[in-house]
Amino acid sequence: MSDRCKNFRLNSHNRYWWHRAPDTDYDPLLYSFMNEDEWNLMRDWFQDTESKYTSTGEANIPPLSFLFGLISGNALSRIVQLGHYVGYSTLLIGFLLRRMGKNNSLFSIDIDPEVTNYTAHWLSKAHLNSQCVLRIADSADSSLPESARKYFGGESPQLVFIDSSHQYEHTLKEMDLWYDALTKGGFMVLHDTSKFASQFDSTGKGGVLRGVAEWCALNGRNALMLNSFVEGGKPGDQPYLDGCGLAVLQKN
């Protein structure tokens, strides 16, 4: 293991769970691809967020690795993110888009002004404002797809990544709105789609898993569901390490 991740396995903070899983004694590609300046900023971000936030709430290495492959392998440059919180995935995707030579490529939405301002601060420090823009709004606001299209130069999103409220009813609204906004063949990727992650729904109505299942049944669509069956356990119990699950839909 390089110097980048060698101490993560020893850190008890929950965000480092991946590094404590079996056979993960290496730098994942989404960390190793960064240059030294980018990694140093990311390391500072880890330290700062841990000092200021009890729960940093980010999607972790398995879902971000999936997104990295999808984006970089297909030259995707019109990405909408619903829920950036304190900026983990926003920074990482921004670094990737810059490496790909893509500007005006990530349109990210969060309803919380405090965390959005925090994320904006780090995007500026990382010099990623050419790649990313942030919006403070409800991610199911019907005006947002048109705002995203304008940001993308009049083109529709190719990828929508949903990791926002985790509530069943809100997930249905997001899926209705953003599936229609996607270009044909575009992707919708949703985090926290397992039975375990259903507990994140503060309304107690079944969370993202129920939302995806019912939306697909109602609209005659199919989704690839990773770890939807997981109810608990620990990383390493399944080949896809994230017990929170991931769902992938393609618009046809």
Element (H, E) at 113: helix 113-125
pLDDT at residue 6 in the model: 86
- Res. 246: pLDDT tops 50: yes
Kindly report the average pLDDT of the chain as a whole number: 96
The mean pLDDT value for 47-52 works out to 94
- Res. 189: pLDDT tops 70: yes
- Where are the domains positioned within the chain? 49-250
pLDDT at residue 57 in the model: 82
CATH topology of domain 49-250: Rossmann fold (3.40.50)
- Res. 244: pLDDT tops 60: yes
DSSP string, 158-169: SEEEE-S---HH
* Rounded CA separation 83/69 (Å): 20
The mean pLDDT value for 67-96 works out to 98
Other CB atoms within 10 Å distance of the CB of residue 224: 11
Decide: 2 and 25 in contact? Cβ < 8 Å. no
Contacts 24+ apart (CB under 8 A), 229-233: 229/194, 229/195, 230/194, 230/195, 230/196, 231/194, 231/195, 231/196, 232/196
Widest CA span of the chain, in angstroms?
A: 49
Residue percentage of the chain with pLDDT more than 70 = 99
pLDDT tens digits for 91-147?
999 999 999 999 999 999 999 999 999 999 999 999 999 999 999 999 999 999 999
φ and ψ at residue 13, rounded to 5 degrees: -60, 140
* Rounded CA separation 184/161 (Å): 16
* Rounded CA separation 139/83 (Å): 8
pLDDT at residue 236 in the model: 87
pLDDT at residue 2 in the model: 63
pLDDT tens digits for 54-74?
888 899 999 999 999 999 999
- Res. 1: pLDDT tops 50: no
